A and B are shown apart, each in its own frame.
Chain A
């Protein structure tokens, strides 16, 4: 099975910080790591390769520094790595990002049987990119997958939706976005890391390689623009009222009244 995994580099912090002026994520001084779900996608791809044979190719769109994420993915066990980078790719929204990724996937030979993405990222968290790639390539898609089995020319996958487990049978080629629980992430042997950085190659494709025009990519190719950025007000800690139940009930009623949450009718009942 020929598999392409899309990976994105994200800041290695519990919560991202935003630059309010430029309306972008602050990446300076923060170490970047592979988006955790993309790591899972990569491990899943390697598991499938082990069972079904084939190759795993990883791609990322990002600045030249994203090469490090690709090299780490090579250490995990991917066969090929392609960096999609061009100064004009900067400022891309999810649509422009998906467009570049879709174009790159079309250029990969042979066309993959399976494309894996993370369900969402820890920094921008839109969950748009996978579905948009599938749409652009005209492929079936299943999002939020946490189990994959192969059945002949189909994949049978499971996803969790609203407390139900959906089992979906899908034809290849297809695109899946994956989520936690699909497979474990292993520790990396040091020799694999050494080899990924000293002996492996990372291919680089720019706008011309992908036969894209300036107006299709980056800021110019984006359909959305960030108008305003706000941090939601922090949730208060709430009041804790203590006492015996009969006292508490009266206390609570008075509080609710004061907030005009209870109307007269309710109170009479």
Chain B
């Protein structure tokens, strides 16, 4: 078993870190303040293939392995969590299912622009009455000749305000018969699809999360991803990978927070010494440092299972719940170490705290991850 990153992974981390430090750190402050998505930076990132991390080169992707992908998302999130969220969702739950479940024609029409960053993707599962209980979703797709007619409301669509290609989960019905969930690839310009106002979020404010509604939106058969009724399979498989993205993102926020805390604790002096000389501060740093290391190992191990084509449902849920809770803990402790200054916008730590919290919520809340883990544990 190999626990060290490979040469390639180390170079990838350094390369992404260099770009992120130069282009994403300052932008994070602006994005948080103005809620504007920086298209110029996104275009640069597209040129560096950040929008096609695991997608093979034939489609214009980078063809990375899963651990490298997690490393890229961690480094981007460390500099700019809202951009990390954009990349994580676009790659993990939009481009990836189109690659895995799409046919050749769909690859040509949708995967190429996604992988090359020409279109940004979304994953629309959550609805007003269907959050943790995704099976309660009400959006329906009724077959009408060769087309489907979609009606329903989606909420909390990450990348919603900037997307070109949306994956919509809907209940399929034909002749009054319930055929289960299916997934539809819906272009943003398609008639009947409307995006609502951007949510006024606590954190991740640079990501335009919004609701999305479908009113008699006519979708041709060629836009159905996978089998009719195959939506549940796609959702489960996609969320497994998506959780690794969130784990990596949480890891980036936690690491940024630890780095900032260490720097501050060395600089700030009270009672005639640097506050890092106080045992209480050292305890906090040691605890957070240890847990970040553990999160990284959990995450990379789950990535490794995915890479090898093995089952990783439980491992990805473990990585996600652990890393996101550590991110919240690391940022909370980070604010504490920064004292009163940590509670102001003079330091980025307060943003890290706000950004971290949602990692415990989306792509399955911590409670739901524990349900998943326990179910796997009890299977045996």
- A residues with a Cβ closer than 8 A to B are 12, 31, 33, 67-68, 71-72, 75, 187-191, 193-195, 197-198
- Is there an interface contact between B11 and A187, defined as CB atoms closer than 8 Å? no
Query: Given the complex of chains A and B, what is the CA–CA distance between A252 and B68 in angstroms?
Result: 62
- Is there an interface contact between B53 and A190, defined as CB atoms closer than 8 Å? yes
Distance to closest chain B CB from A31 (angstroms): 7
Give 1 or 0 for each of B1-24: 1 = CB within 8 Å of chain A CB. 000001110111011101100000
Q: Which residues of A contact B18 (CB under 8 A)?
A: 187
Distance to closest chain B CB from A193 (angstroms): 6
If A67-B7, A71-B11, A190-B72 are given as contacts, then 7 extra A-B residue pairs at C-beta distance below 8 Å, sorted by A number, are A12-B14, A68-B10, A188-B48, A189-B49, A189-B62, A190-B50, A193-B15
Query: Given the complex of chains A and B, what is the CA–CA distance between A144 and B110 in angstroms?
Result: 49
- Is there an interface contact between B64 and A194, defined as CB atoms closer than 8 Å? yes
Which of A12, A72, A194 makes the CB contact (< 8 A) with B63? A194
Query: Given the complex of chains A and B, what is the CA–CA distance between A188 and B11 in angstroms?
Result: 10
Query: Given the complex of chains A and B, what is the CA–CA distance between A190 and B18 in angstroms?
Result: 13
Query: Given the complex of chains A and B, what is the CA–CA distance between A12 and B68 in angstroms?
Result: 21
Residue of A nearest to B61 (CB): A191
- Is there an interface contact between B50 and A195, defined as CB atoms closer than 8 Å? no
Query: Given the complex of chains A and B, what is the CA–CA distance between A12 and B50 in angstroms?
Result: 25
Query: Given the complex of chains A and B, what is the CA–CA distance between A161 and B7 in angstroms?
Result: 39
Query: Given the complex of chains A and B, what is the CA–CA distance between A198 and B63 in angstroms?
Result: 10
Q: Which residues of B contact A195 (CB under 8 A)?
A: 57, 63
Which of A31, A187, A191 makes the CB contact (< 8 A) with B10? A31
Residue of B nearest to A67 (CB): B7
Query: Given the complex of chains A and B, what is the CA–CA distance between A205 and B12 in angstroms?
Result: 27
Give 1 or 0 for each of B35-58: 1 = CB within 8 Å of chain A CB. 000000000100111101100010
Query: Given the complex of chains A and B, what is the CA–CA distance between A99 and B115 in angstroms?
Result: 47
Known contacts A189-B48, A189-B62, A191-B63: A197-B7 contact under CB 8 Å: yes
Which of A68, A189, A191, A198 makes the CB contact (< 8 A) with B11? A68
Q: Which residues of B contact A72 (CB under 8 A)?
A: 11
Q: Which residues of B contact A189 (CB under 8 A)?
A: 47-49, 62
Query: Given the complex of chains A and B, what is the CA–CA distance between A67 and B16 in angstroms?
Result: 20
Query: Given the complex of chains A and B, what is the CA–CA distance between A226 and B15 in angstroms?
Result: 35
Query: Given the complex of chains A and B, what is the CA–CA distance between A191 and B8 in angstroms?
Result: 11
Q: Which residues of A contact B8 (CB under 8 A)?
A: 71, 193-194, 197-198
Q: Which residues of A contact B11 (CB under 8 A)?
A: 68, 71-72, 75, 193, 197
Distance to closest chain A CB from B88 (angstroms): 15
Known contacts A33-B14, A190-B48, A194-B68: A71-B62 contact under CB 8 Å: no
Query: Given the complex of chains A and B, what is the CA–CA distance between A195 and B72 in angstroms?
Result: 16
Q: Which residues of B contact A31 (CB under 8 A)?
A: 10, 14
Q: Which residues of A contact B62 (CB under 8 A)?
A: 189-191, 193-194
- B residues with a Cβ closer than 8 A to A are 6-8, 10-12, 14-16, 18-19, 44, 47-50, 52-53, 57, 61-64, 68, 72
Distance to closest chain B CB from A17 (angstroms): 19
What are some 11 contacts across the A-B interface (CB < 8 A)? A31-B10, A67-B7, A68-B7, A187-B19, A187-B48, A190-B64, A191-B63, A193-B8, A197-B6, A197-B8, A197-B11
Distance to closest chain B CB from A187 (angstroms): 5
Which of A12, A68, A188, A198 makes the CB contact (< 8 A) with B15? A188
Query: Given the complex of chains A and B, what is the CA–CA distance between A71 and B6 in angstroms?
Result: 13
Residue of A nearest to B55 (CB): A191
Query: Given the complex of chains A and B, what is the CA–CA distance between A67 and B47 in angstroms?
Result: 26
- Is there an interface contact between A71 and B7, defined as CB atoms closer than 8 Å? yes
Distance to closest chain A CB from B66 (angstroms): 13
Query: Given the complex of chains A and B, what is the CA–CA distance between A63 and B148 in angstroms?
Result: 63
Q: Which residues of B contact A71 (CB under 8 A)?
A: 7-8, 11
Distance to closest chain B CB from A10 (angstroms): 14
- Is there an interface contact between A190 and B10, defined as CB atoms closer than 8 Å? no
Query: Given the complex of chains A and B, what is the CA–CA distance between A194 and B65 in angstroms?
Result: 9
Residue of A31, A75, A190 with most chain B CB atoms under a 10 A cut-off? A190
Residue of A nearest to B115 (CB): A191
Query: Given the complex of chains A and B, what is the CA–CA distance between A193 and B9 in angstroms?
Result: 9
Query: Given the complex of chains A and B, what is the CA–CA distance between A198 and B11 in angstroms?
Result: 13
Residue of B nearest to A197 (CB): B8
Query: Given the complex of chains A and B, what is the CA–CA distance between A12 and B64 in angstroms?
Result: 25
Residue of B nearest to A75 (CB): B11
Distance to closest chain B CB from A37 (angstroms): 17
- Is there an interface contact between B12 and A193, defined as CB atoms closer than 8 Å? yes
Q: Which residues of B contact A75 (CB under 8 A)?
A: 11
Can you list the 10 inter-chain pairs with the closest CB atoms, starting with the nearest? A190-B62, A197-B8, A191-B62, A68-B7, A190-B49, A189-B49, A191-B49, A187-B19, A189-B48, A188-B15
Query: Given the complex of chains A and B, what is the CA–CA distance between A161 and B10 in angstroms?
Result: 38
Q: Which residues of B contact A67 (CB under 8 A)?
A: 7
- Is there an interface contact between B7 and A187, defined as CB atoms closer than 8 Å? no
- Is there an interface contact between A187 and B15, defined as CB atoms closer than 8 Å? yes
Distance to closest chain A CB from B2 (angstroms): 15
Q: Which residues of A contact B52 (CB under 8 A)?
A: 191
Q: Which residues of B contact A188 (CB under 8 A)?
A: 15, 48
Query: Given the complex of chains A and B, what is the CA–CA distance between A261 and B8 in angstroms?
Result: 59
Q: Which residues of A contact B15 (CB under 8 A)?
A: 187-188, 190, 193
Q: Which residues of B contact A191 (CB under 8 A)?
A: 49, 52, 57, 61-63
Distance to closest chain A CB from B41 (angstroms): 12
Query: Given the complex of chains A and B, what is the CA–CA distance between A195 and B49 in angstroms?
Result: 13
Query: Given the complex of chains A and B, what is the CA–CA distance between A119 and B119 in angstroms?
Result: 44
